[in-house]
Amino acid sequence: MTLQTQMSFANSESGKLYLVPTPIGNLEDMTIRAINVLKSVDLIAAEDTRNTQKLLNHFEIKTKKISFHEHNTESRAPELIEKLKAGLTIAQVSDAGMPSISDPGHELVEQCIAADIPVISVPGASAGLTSLIASGLKPQPFLFYGFLKRKPKDQVEELQNLADEYPTLIFYESPYRVKKTLANMKKVFGNRQAALGRELTKKYEEYVRGGIDDLVKWTEDNQMRGEFVILVAGNTNNNEKTKTEYDEIKKLPVEEQVQTLIDRGNKPNAAIKQVAKLNQLVRQDVYNQFHHI
Domain of 87, CATH number, reads 3.40.1010.10
Query: Does a structural domain hold residue 215?
Result: yes
Please write the tens of the pLDDT for every residue from 227-247. 999 999 999 875 555 566 777
In degrees, to the nearest 5, what angle opens at C-alpha 14 toward C-alphas 11 and 15? Answer: 100
Return the pLDDT at 7: 53
pLDDT at position 3, please? 57
Strand stretches in the chain, DSSP E: 17-19, 43-46, 65-67, 90-93, 119-121, 142-147, 168-173, 193-198, 206-211, 228-232
Residue range of the domain that includes 284: 250-290
Decide: 35 and 9 in contact? Cβ < 8 Å: no
Residue 113 and residue 91 in one domain: yes
Indicate if 33 and 55 belong to the same structural domain: yes
- Through-space distance between the first and last CA atoms of the chain, rounded to whole angstroms: 12
pLDDT confidence of residue 248? 82
Residue 4 falls inside a structural domain:
no
Structure confidence at residue 1 (pLDDT): 46
Among the candidates 67, 93, 121, a domain finishes at 121
pLDDT tens, position by position, 262-291: 888 778 888 898 899 889 899 899 999 898
Q: Are residues 176 and 229 in the same domain?
A: yes
Q: Are residues 134 and 230 in the same domain?
A: yes
pLDDT band for 8, please (50, 70, 90 cuts): low
Instruction: Give the pLDDT confidence of 55-83 residue by residue, as tens digits.
Output: 999 999 999 999 999 899 999 999 999 99
Residues 203 and 258 in one domain: no
Domain membership flag for residue 111: yes
Give 210-222 pLDDT, tens digit per residue.
Answer: 999 999 999 999 9
Cα–Cα distance for residue pair 277/285, rounded to 1 Å: 12
Is 196 inside a domain boundary?
Answer: yes
Whether residue 212 sits in one domain with residue 187? yes
Secondary structure of residue 133 in the 3-state scheme: helix
Q: Report how far residue 53's alpha carbon sits from residue 95's, in angstroms, rounded to the nearest whole number.
A: 10
Q: Is 244 inside a domain boundary?
A: no
Do 268 and 183 fall into the same domain?
A: no
Q: Residue 212 maps to which CATH number? A: 3.30.950.10
270 shares a domain with 219: no
194 with 276, same domain?
A: no
Contact 199, 205 (CB under 8 A): yes
**Could you give the CA distance from residue 207 to residue 195 in angstroms, rounded to a whole number?**
7
Distances (CA, A) of 162 to 143, 185, 233: 10, 10, 11
SS3 194: strand
Mean residue pLDDT across the chain: 91
Rounded to an integer, what distance in angstroms lies between the CA atom of residue 60 and that of residue 58?
6
**Mean pLDDT value of segment 114-123:** 96
Do 141 and 170 lie in one domain? The reply is yes
- Is residue 146's pLDDT more than 90? yes
- pLDDT at site 4: 59
How does pLDDT run across 149-158, given as a tens digit for each residue?
999 999 999 9
Q: Is residue 187 domain-shared with residue 154, that is, in the same domain?
A: yes
> How many domains are contained in the chain?
3
Mean pLDDT computed over 182-201 = 96
Helix axes 268-279, 254-263, angle to 10 degrees: 130
Burial class (CB in 10 A: 0-12, 13-18, 19+), 128: buried
